[in-house]
A and B are shown apart, each in its own frame.
Chain A
């Protein structure tokens, strides 16, 4: 449980962090909250040569309104999402999801950008941001680009983010305080979800669903969304939630079980979101 030796860098400014990332590229790993990274390093499943700690970069810690959108700094911690008045009024799904992650210690360390960069298909926040049609802002010394989360993930723990790029901001639509739900199904209170379903209602009125642990990346329940858009009743739409998914097999669940579970959770989530 002792990691392989590494070089530790804690830049004071975002530009310095980006320069370090550009310098070390694939040899470097970004440390934010560390609750995903440090365990895999201790188990020697990851052995970065350089660890760049961005956890204390104040430049990346904010939640603010920006026109029709909410802008959240990538190093904003779960705890800050949970207690945010802005989010409670403008995007209540996100703090509700953040509140289910781990335990208080984890929520005081983990960051939104870290969760999205890690991209665990069993993670809560990627699916929530997916349901919300969020946008991920990536920056490198080469410049900045905005990637819709629907185009961000390419596979298990992998995304379109280049080695020299850092997630600096997450932009979400102002979806308000209603029309959302998060149904998370776990064995123990602080386990990863066996399956979870996030429902968001966009300003257009469209209901979107992000699915946790139903494939190699966070997924949308597209068939369910289409059925809802056509005005189908919740029961009927929820029954389609597993369409297009490839759920994993592990100790906690078989693919068949997860396919069943996602329909139950989707129905419940939609009922809650509509109530």
Chain B
């Protein structure tokens, strides 16, 4: 019986659930013996020039070994995203100007961690406050500039359209609807905050232990910032406690740790507090969108336009690129004849933005799914019906969209139907009508979303090494390091299937750049369809290799050999030789690099039910029915776990989470008391519906599931909440759909 598709319990969980994993700050590695602790003095002001820094008092504080400011730091200010304006450089320690609350200004090194905060308070920085720009629209005005030498807050030209927008985009439409909607800023807030520890060996190489989603790319980035050859830098990832996209690549602090370690000649450790994390770690989303949708009263959508302004924060990072995905995925699951999109990216006096579960695609889905509801409302058509009428048909695949994506496989209408059936959509609508008729305070809202997304976009190549040892155990080396996804189990299953060796004898190793020099990490839901396929292929090749060797030893024909329980056997006879014995005779190891060349496009549909108290404005998500189709399921336990987390995160953005600054750029959501991370009490049970449509991009048919839940649930829930008050005249409410916002929308509509 195949192990693939079975609920193998995660082999990594006993440790996570009992003594806890070993995160960077938990390391007791002897190479870090005698490490100094780094505390960063961070700017309390969003935009200011630094007029002086006095470190004398801090130097005299107990346990202080050194204090450095930007003047001491010879790391060249870095352009953190290549396609950003070349003047938008980030110093590793601010020198003349700070551009957001939380920017590092000075580095304090102490013998003990607890001494750091006391000493940091004694670093006396004089700031001359400058005007602050927080809002994206204000940033576009270019009145307050973060980088005067750039002459603009506009970050990049990478999204500029090659041609002018067609004037007649909506000329043949009977109905056109337009709306400005905000896809708000959110914080990844992983349980493990950022951390790095570094030391220099006697061989002149630097080793940095750190928390990141992709060791190899982070190594290259950090080496570049430190001005050393990548060969002279080793990155080691201990367990990583969540990333959600915010730990893609390296953070400048990692290079600072390496630089400081060299400067003082001792190992250096750094671990940030939660408050630091809430301003220092990159954040997600942050798009102001204008959607315009047009079509005919019979429900034919003919044209769609999406204009995006994206917030890069103070120092442009990966967030600059994400509107590319938003534009590519703008038409969603629909076959819309005319699609146009634009994007601008602006710098503001806020924390930098980067990837966050979905990274550019959820923003596209949210926009088109709101647009579809707005259009359905305008032509008085059922929103589910409108969607089914306009989705790409099964016979159209592979389908090249007006956004420029090539959708591999999909049955979008079927996914919608499955979700509607599971939810008893007709029954829900009847109950909704009954409640409206009765006119009580508790009304129902039903929201539908249809989505398609890209997984494995950007980095198509991944590698794996599979080695059988003489004792019968197996080692799998992978370039996609997990941070909670369950690779240790999933990769072992893939290898076990081919080798016939049980999962508990297979060890998956990742995240050490000396052991695994190449790899692209875990992001964009890419791991299974890239790293997983590499493991599968390597295991297949290893079996072939074993068969060839066994054929010689057994004097048999390769074609007559089969593998059973880790032994190569001559079909129909009792003779054979185990993989372990073959490995004992000669190294039995295969390196495989797999290039899928293309991304895949998982899809699905969600239906959300909310109950909304129209007197208080409070909406409660009662149910969510989710169809998430990412091809064949390797391990339903892990697959559903990814969906659970994803759906929760999407609901949380819709209902609760938003990073807020005041006009002075002061963060108002820098603790978990203020930032709306959900708990189980805020979430319903999830009704998961299975649908498996394989991709044609790889032999196993696998697509990615990491982000799908987030992308589907968020618009379904937003649509549901607005649907609950649509009979009161409310057309749209921006996320998060707080009681305050809902109540204000009802008040506004009743005027």
A residues near B (Cβ < 8 Å) are 1-2, 4-5, 39, 43-44, 185, 187-192, 194, 251-254, 257, 260-261, 264-265
User: How many Å from the CB of A100 to the closest CB on chain B?
Assistant: 12
**B52 contacts chain A at the CB level, 8 A cutoff:** no
B744 to A4, Cβ gap below 8 A?
no
- Within residues 625 to 674 of chain B, which ones have a CB less than 8 A from any CB in chain A? 656, 660, 668-669, 671, 673-674
- Measured between beta carbons, the chain B residues less than 8 angstroms from A254 are 740
With A1-B273, A187-B738, A188-B676 as contacts: A261 and B616 at CB distance below 8 Å:
yes
A-B contact pairs, 17 of them (CB 8 A): A1-B273, A2-B114, A43-B275, A44-B117, A188-B682, A189-B679, A190-B679, A194-B739, A251-B668, A251-B674, A252-B739, A254-B740, A257-B617, A257-B739, A257-B743, A264-B616, A265-B616
From A43, A189, A252, A265, give the contact of B740 (CB < 8 A): A252
**Assembled-state Cα–Cα distance A191/B678 (Å):** 10
With A1-B274, A188-B656, A251-B669 as contacts: A257 and B744 at CB distance below 8 Å:
yes
From B118, B616, B673, give the contact of A5 (CB < 8 A): B118
**Assembled-state Cα–Cα distance A254/B747 (Å):** 13
- Measured between beta carbons, the chain B residues less than 8 angstroms from A194 are 739-740
**B618 contacts chain A at the CB level, 8 A cutoff:** yes
From A187, A257, A264, give the contact of B656 (CB < 8 A): A187
B738 to A252, Cβ gap below 8 A?
yes
**Assembled-state Cα–Cα distance A188/B656 (Å):** 8
- Measured between beta carbons, the chain B residues less than 8 angstroms from A1 are 117, 273-275
**Assembled-state Cα–Cα distance A43/B660 (Å):** 19
With A1-B274, A43-B275 as contacts: A260 and B743 at CB distance below 8 Å:
yes
A251 to B681, Cβ gap below 8 A?
no
**Assembled-state Cα–Cα distance A254/B681 (Å):** 25
- Measured between beta carbons, the chain B residues less than 8 angstroms from A253 are 740
User: How many Å from the CB of A265 to the closest CB on chain B?
Assistant: 8
By beta carbon, the residue of chain B nearest A194 is: B739
- Measured between beta carbons, the chain B residues less than 8 angstroms from A39 are 671, 673
**Assembled-state Cα–Cα distance A5/B114 (Å):** 9
Count the B residues whose beta carbon is within 8 Å of the partner chain — how many? 30
**Assembled-state Cα–Cα distance A185/B743 (Å):** 14
- In the complex, which of the residues B118, B121, B273, B740 has the most CB atoms of chain A within 10 Å of its own CB atom? B740
B660 to A251, Cβ gap below 8 A?
yes
By beta carbon, the residue of chain B nearest A185 is: B616
**Assembled-state Cα–Cα distance A169/B254 (Å):** 53
- In the complex, which of the residues A39, A43, A189, A257 has the most CB atoms of chain B within 10 Å of its own CB atom? A257
B275 to A2, Cβ gap below 8 A?
no
**Assembled-state Cα–Cα distance A265/B739 (Å):** 14
User: How many Å from the CB of A262 to the closest CB on chain B?
Assistant: 11
B681 to A2, Cβ gap below 8 A?
no
A185 to B739, Cβ gap below 8 A?
yes
User: How many Å from the CB of B406 to the closest CB on chain A?
Assistant: 42
- Measured between beta carbons, the chain A residues less than 8 angstroms from B673 are 39, 191-192
B660 to A2, Cβ gap below 8 A?
no
**B113 contacts chain A at the CB level, 8 A cutoff:** yes
With A1-B275, A252-B738, A253-B740 as contacts: A264 and B615 at CB distance below 8 Å:
yes
By beta carbon, the residue of chain B nearest A190 is: B679
User: How many Å from the CB of A33 to the closest CB on chain B?
Assistant: 16
- Measured between beta carbons, the chain A residues less than 8 angstroms from B740 are 194, 252-254, 257
A188 to B681, Cβ gap below 8 A?
yes
- Measured between beta carbons, the chain A residues less than 8 angstroms from B617 are 257
By beta carbon, the residue of chain A nearest B121 is: A44
**Assembled-state Cα–Cα distance A222/B116 (Å):** 51
Closest 8 CB pairs of A and B: A189-B681, A1-B273, A264-B615, A2-B117, A2-B114, A257-B740, A253-B740, A188-B682
From B116, B117, B618, give the contact of A185 (CB < 8 A): B618
User: How many Å from the CB of A162 to the closest CB on chain B?
Assistant: 30
